[in-house]
A and B are shown apart, each in its own frame.
Chain A
């Protein structure tokens, strides 16, 4: 929490005014009981009506000042607290945008979202509360003690005693309950987990007739939760009656001692009455402080989670300006590239070298964990290679500025992703100037035009958040259209075709052909059919290149490729493909 306090710095002036306002508010309110004491001692006891009225007017003056302080402190704590939240939120957002995949994976996207939304809300609420309370409670406490001492110094021990008893009670109760609270929270999480499992696994549970088994599992946790709940509840039930006893006991003690003192001096009457009110104020402010101690740790957890994001520095650094000019004809060259995940022992990619030329399609195939997606993710620098060089159009990628490199790349992820907006805004995403015609032709190539034209609003069709109102295949086609509209030098398709049915897949590849004739095309694929016609196929196995060549070449000489082919084709098809390949190889063609 305290580390985040640096965000309050720009608002130091407002905070000072806030502190002064609180002080004014507290001081004004605390003057009232002692003025009342004077009314009692000098007005009532002496029967002086005028004195009562003039002192009353004084009191009214203090009340006004206090009110002014209260309003102004509310105003400034609201302003500072929300500005603080705004600044932190913006910084996290910026930070997350600068992260590379490895940082995002470390936190997970879901957790980053919670940190930016819920955690900040939590911290904001606490800050607003703390700004007002954390200052008000100790000030009230100190002020009340000061006033109490100056009105009735002989009675001050009563306050000491009450506070001591109160704190002991609070500490005992909290220490009994706190450990159970943790267990309670864990059990509650378990209840949520079990319920979620029951919902997501609905069909499986019913298919295996395990409804009763699930109910039994649930009831065990539910009973544990109930017992913990009862324990906590029973202990917490002590809190209220005990507090009331302390409060009431304090009042009684004040009167009793006060009457005793009155025996010597009747003027103690008013002092006693004022003292009783101060004592209550002191106790109340202590209670407020204990509440803060319950809230603060919770905000602290949130603050720590936020800090963790803010203190994470992306590993990838970009050049401000690109060094050199890229060649007109694009190319992608990998030279002895290794990649190891931070901390891991095994290499994900080992000594990868290849050249992909303009007008050609280079495909990557291999099992999961073979590193093909990782390899392709090195090109837009989602990760940086551990060693070796990646050269794009004659320049090492580390010498590009972020904008210049990304301008060259049209990237289609495994899962289509759309932003809320319209179909058009999604296809245009990231492109400054593009005509409507270009958008339409990109959609046409991506095989998306047909379904778009069937929609009422066509290209202005609204896309809901997360693209939930279009199907998975449509999302994928729009993602492809987005890459095409960019007219990039380098196309990267990260297994982008597997969400499409085979017919669409084939038509799409046909339409892509003329468009990509001046570009480098890189495809990661699962299906042999998708990449059969690639100019160059790179077969990966456990991070190593185990085959490089055309479909026919690989089919005759690469073992891993053969295995993949066998698993996807029936025996008859496989042998047909194989003889075809052998024949063509003998002819010297591909």
Chain B
């Protein structure tokens, strides 16, 4: 039964298929899991005899007491010993079951996590340009968690509950048919009533989720735009809107809470009614002599135990659906087509000169929407290529092709005459140093980050590189110098300093060719100058591709590629392009227009 606070009931799109995949993925653990299920069933089954034997003890005591006036202890004691043994064996089996299950599920889940991470590194970049990374992340976190808790908790619960239900039913029927019928009839009755209420409550659950979503997105939006709200004197209007939404949320939410919490008291009511009925009927039957007093006692115990597994089984159906939905998401992810395998044998360039040639290159992100059409150009070793164009013009496409994040649809890109397609991706990428606008640093020490492209570098190398990029002084001024820990949200480092660190990282790697995205918005002019100097040092003597924003870079470049709306529309040197009077000239001149 989905409660009011559950997310929208998630159902796998293809239940059978997901279940099959899930079971298949359990692989070598399947046998172990079957064993744990069996053990759980056995452990539960053993305890089911408890009430019956206790009842027999009572009966023996009562009959011996009423007939002889003395209690016949021998059979009672032997029953007690049997019970103690049963209970202890059951406990041991149940512990062994839990132990095995823990090992199996921990290993399986750890394996699943590394499979996902492995997949992340093998999917083509194109996948991530389509799918938001939060989506992939939630498979690693939420979905794996769901499967984990199902394996460790729900699985045992299912088995235990089912065994309990079947076992108790058998015991009840062996004791007394009429009493069993009374006990059993309350179960479907309570299920029907609960089901009816839940059905009616569904609409409250739905609208509660809907309003909660609305309230939460208003909160998110208004908090993010808080300054705008204030400066436009909109606070009271925003508050009024929020209040109205919050109030509607309250009205649906108390109803959904109420109906959602009814299941427990209602089944409880029915259990109590059953209990009373059994006391009455059991009492009469026992006066008749149809059943013994001990059996009445046992029966009452069974009835008390009967309801829990039934409500649990009802909940478990929802759990299974959720689990399979999670499994489905994970397995579809693991099934995504991977990037094409590297050629074998692959060609290797040993002594890189840095001549890059584009030969009739055609490329499209989406089939039928060509972005680069028949592009050819020849770049000599040591030359600088500037890529210019307005924001969103697709300047990174060239980078994507060079680094083989994407492969051209047709045509070839060669380095020193060797087509990059005939090389391993890793070998191609090794030839380039890349400094992107997105200054990604991982959480770790500064040294670790700077050594990222060259694990063999010594601390001395790192410091030398930092001196070249001019960031040495800054690093030394941090509390722990080169060992300072940084992470995503460290605020002791500004955007400009981050960029300087990524440049230093590229210097440490010392690659034969360089790809730079020199955009440095939100960077102060001093740092910008430092960055500029570091860029110049980095590109000196290396073939370089620069996504350019600076006039100096553009003017001195050996080749300028002008991009607009994803296409390369012009290419040439600064002077030839200016003379041509095309888009480039327009772009360039707009910078100097007096207002």
Task: Give A272's nearest chain B residue, CB to CB.
Answer: B58
Q: Which of A485-540 contact B (CB under 8 A)?
A: 486, 498-499, 501-503, 506, 509-510, 513, 526, 529, 532-533
Q: Give Cα distance in the complex from A411 to B233, angstroms.
A: 12
Q: Which of B9-49 contact A (CB under 8 A)?
A: 43, 47
Does A47 contact B522, Cβ atoms closer than 8 Å?
A: no
Q: Does B350 contact A (CB under 8 A)?
A: no
Task: Report the minimal beta-carbon distance from A345 to chain B, rounded to whole angstroms.
Answer: 16
- Range, interface on chain A: 35 or more
Does A40 contact B525, Cβ atoms closer than 8 Å?
A: no
Query: 1/0 per position for B258-298, CB-CB distance to A under 8 A?
Result: 10011001001100110110011001101100000100110
Does B443 contact A259, Cβ atoms closer than 8 Å?
A: no
Segment among B237-245, B312-320, B371-379 that sits at the interface with chain A: B237-245
Q: Could you say which of A255, A406, A564, A570 contacts B525, with CB atoms under 8 Å apart?
A: A564
Q: Does A116 contact B (CB under 8 A)?
A: yes
List, in ascending order, chain B residues with CB within 8 A of A178's CB. Answer: none
Task: Report the minimal beta-carbon distance from A73 to chain B, rounded to whole angstroms.
Answer: 8
Segment among A159-167, A210-218, A320-328 that sits at the interface with chain B: A210-218
Q: Could you say which of B152, B432, B434, B526 contacts A367, with CB atoms under 8 Å apart?
A: B526
Q: Does A348 contact B (CB under 8 A)?
A: no
Q: Give Cα distance in the complex from A512 to B239, angstroms.
A: 33
Does B57 contact A201, Cβ atoms closer than 8 Å?
A: no
Q: A63-B276, A113-B220, A430-B233 known; A198 and B120 CB under 8 Å? A: yes
Does A420 contact B221, Cβ atoms closer than 8 Å?
A: yes
Task: Report the minimal beta-carbon distance from A389 to chain B, rounded to whole angstroms.
Answer: 21
Q: A32-B275, A202-B128 known; A533 and B594 CB under 8 Å? A: yes
- Give the dominant DSSP class at A's interface: helix
Task: Report the minimal beta-carbon distance from B70 to chain A, rounded to whole angstroms.
Answer: 8
Q: A36-B279, A199-B120, A233-B105 known; A104 and B226 CB under 8 Å? A: yes
List, in ascending order, chain B residues with CB within 8 A of A506's CB. Answer: 590, 593, 595
List, in ascending order, chain A residues with CB within 8 A of B432's CB. Answer: 207
Does B524 contact A367, Cβ atoms closer than 8 Å?
A: yes
Does B230 contact A56, Cβ atoms closer than 8 Å?
A: no
Q: Which of A189-219 contact B (CB under 8 A)?
A: 191-211, 213-215, 218-219
Residues of B within 8 A of A (CB-CB), count? 151
Q: Does B445 contact A (CB under 8 A)?
A: no
Does A409 contact B225, Cβ atoms closer than 8 Å?
A: no
Does A90 contact B243, Cβ atoms closer than 8 Å?
A: yes
Does A207 contact B403, Cβ atoms closer than 8 Å?
A: yes
Q: Does B332 contact A (CB under 8 A)?
A: no
List, in ascending order, chain A residues with CB within 8 A of B103's CB. Answer: 230, 233
CB-defined A-B contacts under 8 Å, sample of 25: A36-B279, A52-B287, A59-B275, A83-B254, A93-B239, A113-B220, A192-B137, A197-B488, A214-B121, A215-B114, A218-B113, A218-B117, A229-B109, A237-B101, A238-B95, A248-B87, A259-B76, A263-B65, A277-B304, A367-B526, A380-B227, A402-B235, A465-B220, A563-B529, A571-B552
Does A89 contact B216, Cβ atoms closer than 8 Å?
A: no
Please indicate which of the listed interface residues B222, B232, B286 has the most CB atoms of chain A within 10 Å of its own CB: B232
Q: Does B173 contact A (CB under 8 A)?
A: no
Q: A86-B246, A430-B234 known; A237 and B128 CB under 8 Å? A: no
Does A78 contact B593, Cβ atoms closer than 8 Å?
A: no
A-B contact sample (6 more), CB < 8 A, given A245-B91, A277-B304 = A35-B279, A113-B220, A191-B113, A241-B91, A382-B230, A419-B228
Task: Give A242's nearest chain B residue, CB to CB.
Answer: B91
Task: Give B145's nearest chain A residue, CB to CB.
Answer: A188
Segment among A94-102, A149-157, A441-449 that sits at the interface with chain B: A94-102
Task: Give B152's nearest chain A residue, CB to CB.
Answer: A233
The number of A-B residue pairs with CB atoms under 8 Å apart is 420
Q: Give Cα distance in the complex from A230 to B148, angstroms.
A: 12
Q: A211-B121, A259-B57 known; A199 and B221 CB under 8 Å? A: no
Q: Does B166 contact A (CB under 8 A)?
A: no
Does B301 contact A251, Cβ atoms closer than 8 Å?
A: yes
Q: A52-B284, A215-B114, A570-B552 known; A206 and B258 CB under 8 Å? A: no
Task: Give B524's nearest chain A residue, CB to CB.
Answer: A367
Task: Report the minimal beta-carbon distance from A544 to chain B, rounded to whole angstroms.
Answer: 15
Query: 1/0 per position for A428-456, CB-CB distance to B under 8 A?
Result: 01110000000000000000000000000
Q: Could you say which of B114, B403, B509 contacts A218, with CB atoms under 8 Å apart?
A: B114
List, in ascending order, chain B residues with CB within 8 A of A297's CB. Answer: none
List the 9 closest pairs (A to B, CB-CB), nearest first. Answer: A237-B98, A430-B232, A367-B524, A233-B102, A70-B265, A368-B524, A78-B257, A78-B258, A56-B280
Does A263 contact B249, Cβ atoms closer than 8 Å?
A: no
Does B452 contact A368, Cβ atoms closer than 8 Å?
A: no
Q: Could you say which of B95, B225, B272, B443 contacts A32, with CB atoms under 8 Å apart?
A: B272
List, in ascending order, chain A residues with CB within 8 A of B227's CB. Answer: 101, 380, 382, 411, 413
List, in ascending order, chain B residues with CB within 8 A of A367's CB. Answer: 524-527
Please indicate which of the listed interface residues A44, A201, A564 has the most CB atoms of chain B within 10 Å of its own CB: A44
Does B230 contact A97, Cβ atoms closer than 8 Å?
A: yes
Task: Give B521's nearest chain A residue, CB to CB.
Answer: A498
Q: A206-B403, A237-B101 known; A244 and B91 CB under 8 Å? A: yes
Please indicate which of the listed interface residues B43, B268, B283, B438 has the most CB atoms of chain A within 10 Å of its own CB: B283
Q: Give Cα distance in the complex from A116 to B54, angstroms.
A: 54
Does A502 contact B275, Cβ atoms closer than 8 Å?
A: no
Does A252 contact B80, Cβ atoms closer than 8 Å?
A: yes
Task: Report the minimal beta-carbon distance from A191 to chain B, rounded to whole angstroms.
Answer: 7
Does B125 contact A203, Cβ atoms closer than 8 Å?
A: yes
List, in ascending order, chain B residues with CB within 8 A of A307's CB. Answer: none
